[in-house]
Amino acid sequence: MHSRIREQGWVANLSKFQLIHLSKRFFSSLFARDISVEEFSRVHSILSVNEMDLWKSYQKFDKRHSIVVLNRLNAFMPHAGREVHVAALLHDIGKSDSRLGVLSRVIATIVGPRTGRFSRYHHHEEIGIELLEAAGCSEVTISLLKGIGDPQALAALSDADNI
C-alpha cells in the first residue's frame, strides 16, 4: 500500500487528513496493548511459518496495528481470502527493517529520509516486498501490496489501513 506521506517529507506539506492519520497512529502506538493469546493464535492460523517469523519481528505497536487492520479488513470484506489477510497482517513489515521506535518515526516523517534508518523507514513498502518475496509469500499477496490486483481487495486493504 503506497505511502502518501513518504513523498511529502515535511509536516508543513501534509494535508489535514494526513496529520490526523499520523496523530491517531502516534497515540495508538504509544498506548498499544499487548497481543492476547486469542489474537496471537488467530494470526498464527493465517500465516505460514516464514510469514509468522516476519510478523514476530514487528514491534508491539506494529503487531497491534496489523491486527486492527485485519479486523477492519474483515468488516469491509468479510469473505477475503488468505492472501488478503496476509497482506493486512504484513503490509508494514518493511518498517521493522528501520528499527525505529514511535518518536523516531515521527521525526523521520517530519525531516524525511536524511539518515540510513530514516531512509529505510521511508522506503518500507519496497523493503517489505523484498522481505515477503524472500519468505515465499504468494504472488497474490505481493501484488496486492504493490497496488496491483482485485480492486475490491485493494480498496478494502486501503480502507482498513486508513485509521
- DSSP 3-state of 11: helix
Percent of the chain at pLDDT exceeding 90 = 54
Residue with the larger pLDDT of the pair 128 and 12: 128
Q: Give the integer Cα–Cα distance in Å for 1 and 153.
A: 11
Q: Which of 77, 83, 90, 67 is CA-nearest to residue 152?
A: 77
Instruction: Label residue 4 by pLDDT band (50, 70, 90).
Output: very low
Q: What is the CB-side half-sphere exposure of residue 123 using CA atoms within 13 A? A: 12
CA dist list (Å): 131 to 49, 54, 117, 119: 14, 8, 16, 16
Asked whether 1 and 158 are in contact (CB, 8 A), the reply is yes
Q: Map grid coordinates 479486523 to a residue.
A: 71
Computed over every residue of the chain, the mean pLDDT equals: 84
Q: Is the pLDDT of residue 115 over 80?
A: no
In angstroms, how far is CA 21 from the centroid of its own chain?
A: 14
- Position 9 scores a pLDDT of 46
**Hey, where are the domains in the chain?**
11-161
- DSSP 3-state of 137: coil
Q: What is the pTM assigned to this prediction?
A: 0.79
Locate 77 and state its grid cell.
470484506
What 62-67 contacts at long range (C-beta under 8 Å, 24+ apart), as own/partner pairs, is: 62/92, 62/95, 62/96, 63/32, 63/35, 64/28, 64/29, 64/32, 64/33, 64/35, 65/25, 65/28, 65/29, 65/32, 65/92, 65/163, 66/90, 66/91, 66/92, 67/35, 67/39, 67/42, 67/43
Q: What is the CB-side half-sphere exposure of residue 109 using CA atoms within 13 A? A: 22
- Position 17 scores a pLDDT of 65
